[in-house]
Amino acid sequence: MAGIEQDLFSHVETLFPLCRSITGEGLRRTLRYIGEHIPLECREVPTGTPVLDWEVPKEWVVRGARIRRMNGETVVDFVRNNLHLLQYSHPVDAIVTREELDRHLHSLPDRPGLVPYRTAYHADTWGFCLSHEARMALTDPAYRVEVDTELRDGSLSYGECWLPADAPDEPPKDAPGGAPGGAPGDVLVSIHCCHPSLANDNLSAIAVAIELARALARRSARRFGYRFLFIPGTIGAITWLARNRDVARQVRHGLVLSCLGDAGAPTYKQSRRGDAPIDRIVGHVLRARGLAGRVLPFVPYGYDERQYCSPGFNLPVGCLMRSPNGSFPEYHTSADNLAFVQPAALADSLALLGEIVELIETDATWRNTSPYGEPQLGRRRLYSRIGGQTDPGALPGGFDQLTLLWVLNLSDGQHSLLDIAERSGKPFEAVAAAARALRETGLLELAPPATLASGRTVG
Ligand code: ZN
């Protein structure tokens, strides 16, 4: 296993045993672990706090849960697998008939060996999840049920990692720079952290996000600020949005990350807008990998893109996955375990996010400073270097003559580098390298924001 694969997998492995939920100690311990690796501000929002149309729920405390036969033999135990307890079960200590117990059991008849993951955040009930095989074996007339839990006034926890952009008055040397007068905005990366012992959904995304944030923290220059949210699903995103309406307005690109560790190919679900820059950027990166078919349109279902893309916010936030939620038989079952997550897939997801970040950071709209006729490239030691070659192949830096000509022709203040890459069919990296070379000669300058085509540019 390569170093980065080892690092990613060890995050998944370490966090796997914890019993996370939308509130409580398992979630807090997960955030503390994340905070040992990246700068993380942990927030606590008290039970009962109104958040948008919702309210922060009571905190769920779990000490144990089991089903015992009347002779004392334990048949189902939370200690063996935390999926066994229906999340948010209220406490119970009772002897119940087989029929009464069965009304509180959840199993999967079509996958009889697997334990399902079920929640009842708002149902005020108790329940157990078990394999269908184990359920069929419960034939005694009565059982003793012990659920040692507590629903109490506490708080909802989430973590925020903020990596600011470089100060606008100190433009990064090799980056094209942002809009004059301020940083171009924020990139939001949102990861749900509320699932118990499930590896792909959601520990894979936590692991990849930790390493992505570490890489971004080390990056010599950041044109954008990056905000990582480690939050409980749905209620966490709603809580963050309720408390950060102004911050949300700064989001220029956003990604919800989930299911990034299975062997499936990467999948991108577009934002509600469908044509936001992030949709074009991730679409471009996946097409370059031959994965055009793995771009899916927005649907108001899935992960926290549901909240970020609600009509009042309508943020440019898509969702990056490998196999989409619900599309694999291991999803939300005990088979989504450590054996299901592939270290190489985790590393590939991280590499893919690296390409997406590179595009976010590099894309910009330039203007040809000599747009009347083709500028004389030979005098600037550009054309001669290419024109003399029989193969109009690469200059050092990796672009050919045609790429250079495309960049010069389309840099009219209306076309971004991504526009140029898409229209020319040239790789984005080659287009960006050509733009860098042209900028060094003074033939390109950043287009002032006023001339940018609306909605077509990064920043
Ligand atoms: Zn899930």
* Ordered per-residue pLDDT tens for the chain, 459 residues: 789 999 999 999 999 999 999 999 999 999 999 999 999 999 999 999 999 999 999 999 999 999 999 999 999 999 999 999 999 999 999 999 999 999 999 999 999 999 999 999 999 999 999 999 999 999 999 999 999 999 999 999 999 999 999 865 444 444 444 443 445 899 999 999 999 999 999 999 999 999 999 999 999 899 999 999 999 999 999 999 999 999 999 999 999 999 999 999 999 999 999 999 999 999 999 999 999 999 999 999 999 999 999 999 999 999 999 999 999 999 999 999 999 999 999 999 999 999 999 999 999 999 999 999 999 888 887 765 554 444 444 445 678 889 999 999 999 999 999 999 999 999 999 999 999 999 999 999 998 764 344 444 443
Domain covering 61-149, topology: Glucose Oxidase; domain 1 (3.50.30)
What distance in angstroms lies between residue 195's CA and the mean position of ligand 1's atoms? 7
What distance in angstroms lies between residue 333's CA and the mean position of ligand 1's atoms? 10
Give the other-Cβ count within 10 Å of 406's Cβ: 22
What distance in angstroms lies between residue 304's CA and the mean position of ligand 1's atoms? 11
What distance in angstroms lies between residue 332's CA and the mean position of ligand 1's atoms? 6
Predicted pLDDT of residue 387: 41
What distance in angstroms lies between residue 170's CA and the mean position of ligand 1's atoms? 42
What distance in angstroms lies between residue 201's CA and the mean position of ligand 1's atoms? 5
End-to-end CA distance of the chain: 38
Give the other-Cβ count within 10 Å of 436's Cβ: 16
Predicted pLDDT of residue 11: 98
What distance in angstroms lies between residue 226's CA and the mean position of ligand 1's atoms? 24
What distance in angstroms lies between residue 267's CA and the mean position of ligand 1's atoms? 16
Distance CA 408, CA 410 (A): 6
What distance in angstroms lies between residue 328's CA and the mean position of ligand 1's atoms? 12
What distance in angstroms lies between residue 196's CA and the mean position of ligand 1's atoms? 10
What distance in angstroms lies between residue 397's CA and the mean position of ligand 1's atoms? 43
> Amino acid identity, residue 212?
L
What distance in angstroms lies between residue 374's CA and the mean position of ligand 1's atoms? 55
Predicted pLDDT of residue 176: 46
What are the E-state strand segments in 70-212?
Answer: 74-77, 92-97, 105-106, 128-129, 142-152, 155-163, 186-192
What distance in angstroms lies between residue 303's CA and the mean position of ligand 1's atoms? 8
What distance in angstroms lies between residue 83's CA and the mean position of ligand 1's atoms? 13
What distance in angstroms lies between residue 202's CA and the mean position of ligand 1's atoms? 7
The architecture in CATH of the region 365-451 reads Orthogonal Bundle (1.10)
What distance in angstroms lies between residue 149's CA and the mean position of ligand 1's atoms? 22
Query: Quick check: do 3-57+154-362 and 365-451 share a fold?
Result: no
Distance CA 105, CA 103 (A): 6
What distance in angstroms lies between residue 401's CA and the mean position of ligand 1's atoms? 49
Distance CA 135, CA 102 (A): 8
Under 8 Å CB-to-CB from 371, ≥6 apart: which residues?
412
What distance in angstroms lies between residue 322's CA and the mean position of ligand 1's atoms? 14
What distance in angstroms lies between residue 301's CA and the mean position of ligand 1's atoms? 12
Predicted pLDDT of residue 459: 38
Q: Residue 162 — φ and ψ, nearest 5°?
A: -115, 120
CA torsion, ordered 70, 75, 79, 85, to nearest 10 deg: -90
What distance in angstroms lies between residue 325's CA and the mean position of ligand 1's atoms? 7
Ordered by start, the domain boundaries in the chain are: 3-57+154-362, 61-149, 365-451
Predicted pLDDT of residue 184: 80
Predicted pLDDT of residue 181: 40
What distance in angstroms lies between residue 159's CA and the mean position of ligand 1's atoms? 19
What distance in angstroms lies between residue 204's CA and the mean position of ligand 1's atoms? 12
What distance in angstroms lies between residue 31's CA and the mean position of ligand 1's atoms? 18
Of the candidate CATH numbers 3.40.109.10, 3.40.630.10, 3.30.465.10, 1.10.760.10, the domain formed by 3-57+154-362 belongs to 3.40.630.10
| Digit-coded pLDDT (tens) for 349-358 | 999 999 999 9
What distance in angstroms lies between residue 186's CA and the mean position of ligand 1's atoms? 26
Q: Which two tokens stand for residue 203?
A: 């520990």
What distance in angstroms lies between residue 312's CA and the mean position of ligand 1's atoms? 25
What integer best gives the mean pLDDT of the chain?
92
Are the C-beta atoms of residues 114 and 131 closer than 8 Å to each other?
A: yes
